[in-house]
């Protein structure tokens, strides 16, 4: 029997709220199947199962906020006998289902923890649910404490929680925690390089001119592909650092997606180096759409091996990024723009892009980082081969 547990969907995740079961006892599941949906600070995440088998029992009730590692279900592996007597005999008891994990609501209560405002636990929980700041409420309880009724009154006119269960204050906290950890633990070094993108841009434009919109490719796809290929070739950029560096064979490229209303999410494109440009476009389109809708998979949140961030077509020249732990490198492409550039003996206008590498000194140094950026440059000079 395997116990399917609440997964950790990021270094900073402590608990998650179970909002949907997609399987029931008796269902056959395969490794990688999405079996449940958990709401986290990063929105609703589809969680996958990591073994084949049959769902023997569901242990966690919908709506429960459970810590990482809490048992969610029991999976019977192929060939294992069905659970015998002990588990089933006391069926009448409503199973061990709802151990209402911990004092139920420690909801991502960003705002409520902020101050020392006297308030009842129910009021705190409700305020967190509604995204209300307790300090802004007038309390009618003992000693001016905020009670549930106060929160509910305030809640009537207050903003609804953001769509799709996204709580931007909670997400900001998650970003702050991850980035603080990064800056404390990772000895960053940075390298800049200006790449002449004219060849890539000319090639892309010519290719797109004959294409219906659905088949067009964005410069972003070329940049991701080039960086992913370079990450395969130059060691020390691709992998995860847990106690020591664990290099990865495949490049799962985290793609930073900025959300309206603030917030950022960086789900991974699995095996980006192995995808054609068309497949990469499809994967990027899909990831952006699901990031906006708040429907990403657990593996996409945790299995990134490098982040490749592109500032798009209307942004600024460059960005020096903060590595997303446990990864060890982040590549940031600025907005491609025309600049005067020396080609041969002449100064000519060329479309160029600044690429900035943030990398981890525990794993690599400047020379290797430079090799990596130069390789991206070289690959972008032959866009037709990407």
Partner 1 sequence: MTNDDIKVAFLEELIKVAPDIDPADVGGNDQLQDDLELDSMDFLTLVTALHKRLGVNIPEEHYLRIETLDKAVAYLSERMA
Q: Which residues bind partner 1 (CB under 8 A)?
A: 162-164, 205, 208-209, 212-214, 216, 218-220, 257-261, 284-285, 288-289, 292-293, 312-314
- CB nearer to partner 1: pick between 111 and 218: 218
Q: How far is the CB of 224 from partner 1 (least distance, A)?
A: 11
- CB nearer to partner 1: pick between 120 and 291: 291
Q: How far is the CB of 264 from partner 1 (least distance, A)?
A: 12
Q: How far is the CB of 322 from partner 1 (least distance, A)?
A: 20
Q: How far is the CB of 204 from partner 1 (least distance, A)?
A: 9
CA angle 250, 252, 253 (to 5 degrees): 135
Question: Taking each helix axis from N to C terminus, what angle separates 198-209 and 219-233, rounded to the nearest 10 degrees?
Answer: 130
- CB nearer to partner 1: pick between 6 and 223: 223
- CB nearer to partner 1: pick between 143 and 209: 209
Q: How far is the CB of 257 from partner 1 (least distance, A)?
A: 8
Distances (CA, A) of 216 to 211, 325, 327: 6, 33, 31
- CB nearer to partner 1: pick between 144 and 261: 261
The CB density around residue 115, as the number of other CB atoms within 10 Å, is 11
DSSP letter (8 states) at residue 49: -
- CB nearer to partner 1: pick between 58 and 283: 283
Question: Taking each helix axis from N to C terminus, what angle separates 219-233 and 366-380, rounded to the nearest 10 degrees?
Answer: 130
Q: How far is the CB of 282 from partner 1 (least distance, A)?
A: 11
Q: Which residues contact 61 (CB under 8 A, 6 or more apart)?
A: 18, 97, 98, 100
How far apart CA 185 and CA 183 sit, in angstroms, is 6
- CB nearer to partner 1: pick between 138 and 260: 260
Q: How far is the CB of 52 from partner 1 (least distance, A)?
A: 35
Burial string for 195-226 (b: 16+ CB within 10 Å, else e) reads: bbbbebbebbeeeeeeeeeeeebbbbbbbbbb
Q: How far is the CB of 136 from partner 1 (least distance, A)?
A: 24
- CB nearer to partner 1: pick between 212 and 342: 212
- CB nearer to partner 1: pick between 7 and 336: 336
Q: Computed over its alpha carbons, how large is the radius of gyration of the chain?
A: 24
Q: How far is the CB of 316 from partner 1 (least distance, A)?
A: 12
- What is the distance, to the nearest Å, from the Cα of residue 186 to the centroid of all Cα atoms in its chain? 19
For residue 33 the two structure tokens come to 């199947």
Residue 166 sits at φ, ψ, to 5 deg, of -80, 125
How far apart CA 107 and CA 110 sit, in angstroms, is 8
- CB nearer to partner 1: pick between 302 and 309: 309
Distances (CA, A) of 328 to 21, 144, 264, 332: 34, 50, 19, 14
Q: How far is the CB of 239 from partner 1 (least distance, A)?
A: 27
Cβ 169 vs Cβ 110: under 8 Å: yes
Three-class SS of residue 243? coil
């Amino acid at each position: 029997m395997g116990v399917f547990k609440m997964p950790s969907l990021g270094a900073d995740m402590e608990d998650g709220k179970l909002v949907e079961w997609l399987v029931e006892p008796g269902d056959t599941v395969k490794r990688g199947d999405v079996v449940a949906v958990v709401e986290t600070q990063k929105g609703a995440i589809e969680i996958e199962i990591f073994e084949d088998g049959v769902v023997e029992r569901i242990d966690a009730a919908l709506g429960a906020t459970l810590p990482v590692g809490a048992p969610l279900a029991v999976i019977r592996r192929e060939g294992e006998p069905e659970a015998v007597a002990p588990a089933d005999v006391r069926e009448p008891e409503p199973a061990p289902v709802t151990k209402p994990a911990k004092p139920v609501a420690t909801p991502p209560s960003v705002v409520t923890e902020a101050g020392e405002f006297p308030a009842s636990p129910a009021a705190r929980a409700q305020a967190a649910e509604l995204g209300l700041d307790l300090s802004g409420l007038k309390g009618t309880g003992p000693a001016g404490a905020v009670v549930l009724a106060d929160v509910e009154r305030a809640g009537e006119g207050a903003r609804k929680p953001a769509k799709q269960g996204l709580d931007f204050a909670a997400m900001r906290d998650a970003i702050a925690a991850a980035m603080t950890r990064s800056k404390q633990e990772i000895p960053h070094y940075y390298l800049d390089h200006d790449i002449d993108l004219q060849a890539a841009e000319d090639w892309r434009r010519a290719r797109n001119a004959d294409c219906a919109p659905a088949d067009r490719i964005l410069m972003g796809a070329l940049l991701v592909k080039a960086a992913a290929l370079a990450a395969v070739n130059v060691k020390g950029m691709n992998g995860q650092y847990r106690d020591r560096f664990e290099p990865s064979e495949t490049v799962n490229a985290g793609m930073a997606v900025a959300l309206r209303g603030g917030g950022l999410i960086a789900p991974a494109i699995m095996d980006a180096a192995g995808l054609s440009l068309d497949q990469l476009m499809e994967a990027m389109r899909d990831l952006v759409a699901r990031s906006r809708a708040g429907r990403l998979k657990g593996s996409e949140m945790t299995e990134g091996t490098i982040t490749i961030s592109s500032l798009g077509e209307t942004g600024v020249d460059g960005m020096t990024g903060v590595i997303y732990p446990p990864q060890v490198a982040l590549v940031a492409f600025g907005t491609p723009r025309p600049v005067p550039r020396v080609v041969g003996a002449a100064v000519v206008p060329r479309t160029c892009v600044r690429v900035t590498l943030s990398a981890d000194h525990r794993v690599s140094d400047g020379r290797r980082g430079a090799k990596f950026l130069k390789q991206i440059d070289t690959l972008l000079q032959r866009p037709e081969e990407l």
